[in-house]
Chains A and B, each alone.
Chain A
Amino acid sequence: MNMSDSERVRTIIETQTGYAWTDNEEEANMLGILACSVRQKAIDKVYSRIQKWNKWKHKKSLLTFISGCILADDMEKFLKLFDIVFRMSELEKLPEMIRQYGVVTPASLFTDLTAMPKNESINTFWKVTPHYSSGFEAFVPIQNGCDKFCTFCAVPYTRGREVSRPSGEILDEIANLVGQGYKSITLLGQNVNSYGHDKKGEEITFPQLLERIGEAGDNSGKEFWVYFTSPHPRDMTDEVIEVISRYKCLGKQIHLPIQSGDEKVLIRMNRKHTLEKYRDIIHTIRRLIPEATIFTDIIVGFTGETEEQFENTRKIMDEFRYNMAYIAQYSQRPGAVSSRWVDDVPTEVKKTRYHKLSNDLRRVSAANNRAMVGKIYRVLVTGHDRKAGYLSALTEGKIVTRFASENHDLIGNFVDLKITSSTDFSVEGEVITKT
């Protein structure tokens, strides 16, 4: 999400303020942060970074700003540390804030930043044509905010309620990207598959949106893959899966966060779905799209998680045979409901559970990858690999792949690979053909 946000912020700054982009932090005259409130660590890093920048102000002219997912308490603190603080939905005001800075200060007082976020003005933000940072991979926001109120998460309090972007704008942006030859497009939203719910029948639904993208994509004569992240199991319908199975351009990779494999932990997390409902979704995916890869997110050591409840999470790793899982040790996030509860699982226990579950993942992922050996996969070449003389690529299922090649022109293009070997989290192959 932040990648997509930053592309739009960059466009506004470059086109409306006269500042030019630099990759060198030390030579910049304006520095900004798009914060993420999902983890406290990310916010802690903001504080250390701004202290450094504020010291630089003694030596040179420097303007600082911050936006993104920020809780009201942090907003108040940032107002004292940054020159400009704004909500992402107020991006259109940023050039004026920059121009006015020093004339009317603080520029961030254009609005009440500590009030509950209102999302209606996010529509203006979506209209900004971003400066895409990659020539073949793009992120397209389709939805903002969250109504689910998972107890471990502060997003509903930083991003506000769910708001869907008009489907016409989304389809136009995708058509434009496809026309420019983009090969991987990811639809973004905090609850991407709740798309349209807020419009109460006045906008198409998420499966209908996917269907229109699929139809247009398959008729375009271009080759590309469209993904989405992150969906919520509560809103994942059979119709979504059925549509993905039908269109070639809809990537056969589904990221479906489970967070815990224990019913009672799911209740305490306020996830609003049962394990049974999640299991049904996985069965439908396996039935309709047998080749699909499945990724997930899991939190270990959530408040009150017992050893037995953790073991239930280990069981689902074997049951669902994930291709990848992003595992996090629970940490309290101020603003989230669970921050009011005692964080009663000791750090050492969290670490142990993290390592056990990571080992489980390694085992199932390795088995999945071994099954790929000897088969041919279409891959999108994404860049240089760490291994000298090799390029990195992703399969349609987003399995990390590498192959020997010095031909840098392949980056951003599709090739066919025969998989020759595998490791726990990647595979290696040989080029069969080149497009």
Chain B
Amino acid sequence: MTKISENTTKVHHIRHLTPSTYVLRFDRDQRPFTAGQHVILGIHGQKSAREYSIYSSENDDFFEVLVKAVKPGDVSQKLKELHHGDLLSVEGPMGFFTIEPEIVTQGKVVMIATGTGIAPYHSYVRSYPQLDYKMLHGVRYASEAYDRADYDPSRYVLCTSGENAGNLHGRVTDYLLENEIDTTADYYLCGNVKMIHEAFDILKEKGVNHAKIHAEVYF
């Protein structure tokens, strides 16, 4: 593949997961990347752009992002209408929501996400097969359990608030309240700020040290 310019890349394809949510794959162009980082994406030649966590693995030769189309006119909606070969403007990867190497090899991690906040965790799990993890994914309906088959079923807990179709009928914070917490693990929180604040309080209350709580707010 040839880069058009430093900040331009080409779309491979779009894989639709639900009517509004999709995975956009595009050229990586050998950009270095650590699982948990994000890119700033926009349509080539247009000024609006948004940040998206990378969904694919460090070992893939492409990038993927998990996008929920929000409303007409938004970048998320415009990206959904792209086709193979269309040009994207991309900046990055960048960001700090990464896992320390010693935690990857020796630690335990609990990953808590709402909605598309699962994107960086998908990248962790695909990049680090040895990772000792537990995943709490909060969605409204089970149809939003994006690429559930990519996770070890014994490590994955689906919390559905809008129907009784997951491992728990309720929110991820309900799961945290009702279950024993491993205070030796590192906790990763990603998604809407309300969930992050509530989970933060519960974890603190249950004795998890601040330094072991890592958060990435989705805007």
State which residues 74-112 of B face A: CB under 8 Å. 89, 91-92, 94-96
User: Is A116 interfacial (CB-CB < 8 Å)?
Assistant: yes
Contact A267 B197 (CB under 8 A): yes
Is there a chain B Cβ closer than 8 Å to A268's Cβ?
A: yes
B51 at the interface (CB under 8 A from A): yes
Q: At the interface with chain B, which of A32-40, A86-94, A274-282?
A: A274-282
A125 CB contacts on chain B under 8 angstroms: none
CB distance from A185 to the nearest CB of B (A): 30
Q: Which of A115, A147, A337 has the most CB of B within 10 A?
A: A115
Q: Is A263 an interface residue (CB 8 A)?
A: yes
Query: Which chain B positions have C-beta within 8 A of A276?
Result: 210-211
Chain A residue at smallest Cβ distance from B217:
A270
Given contacts A274-B210, A276-B211, contact A115 B94 (CB under 8 A): no
Q: In the complex, what residues of A have CB within 8 A of residue B49's CB? A: 116
Distance between Cα atoms of A388 and B119 in the complex (Å): 64
> CA separation between A304 and B200, bound complex, in Å?
16
Of B42, B47, B94, B219, which one neighbours A151 at CB under 8 angstroms?
Answer: B219
Asked whether A115 and B47 contact (CB < 8 A) given A147-B94, A161-B91, A274-B211, the answer is: yes
Interface string of A412-430 (1 = CB under 8 A from B): 0000000000000000000
Q: How many residues of A contact B (CB 8 A)?
A: 27
From B7, B96, B193, B211, A116 is in contact (CB under 8 Å) with B7
The complex places the Cα of A337 from the Cα of B193 at a distance, in Å, of: 13
B residues 184-214 in Cβ contact with A at 8 Å? 193, 196-197, 200, 210-211, 213
B42 surroundings in chain A (CB, below 8 A):
116
| Chain B: CB-nearest residue to A264 | B197
Q: Are A275 and B210 in contact (CB under 8 A)?
A: yes
Residues of B within 8 A of A378 (CB): none
**A272 at interface (Cβ–Cβ under 8 A)?**
yes
Find the B residue at minimum CB distance from A340. B219
Given A149-B51, A151-B219, A268-B217, A116:B40 Cβ within 8 A: yes
B131 CB–A CB distance under 8 Å:
no
Binary interface encoding of chain B residues 16-54 relative to chain A, with 1 for a CB under 8 A from any of its CBs, else 0: 000000000000000010000000101000010101000
Interface residues of A in 148-198 (CB under 8 A from B): 149, 151, 161
Chain B residue at minimum C-beta to C-beta distance from A160: B91
**Contact flags A97-128 to B (C-beta < 8 A → 1, else 0):** 00000000000000000111010100000000
Contacts of B92 in A (CB 8 A): 161
Tell me the B residues contacting A by CB distance below 8 Å.
6-7, 32, 40, 42, 47, 49, 51, 89, 91-92, 94-96, 193, 196-197, 200, 210-211, 213, 215, 217, 219
Minimum-distance CB pairs A-B, first 10: A72-B47, A114-B47, A276-B210, A274-B210, A147-B94, A337-B219, A267-B215, A264-B197, A272-B96, A268-B193
Q: List 26 contacting pairs A-B, 8 Å CB cutoff, sorted by A.
A: A72-B47, A73-B47, A114-B47, A115-B47, A116-B7, A116-B40, A116-B42, A116-B89, A116-B91, A147-B94, A147-B95, A151-B217, A161-B92, A200-B32, A234-B96, A267-B196, A267-B197, A267-B215, A268-B193, A268-B197, A274-B210, A274-B213, A275-B210, A276-B211, A277-B211, A337-B219
* Interface contacts beyond A275-B210, A304-B193, A341-B219: sample of 12 additional A-B pairs, CB < 8 Å, sorted by A: A73-B47, A116-B40, A118-B6, A118-B7, A147-B94, A147-B95, A149-B95, A161-B91, A264-B200, A267-B196, A267-B217, A270-B217
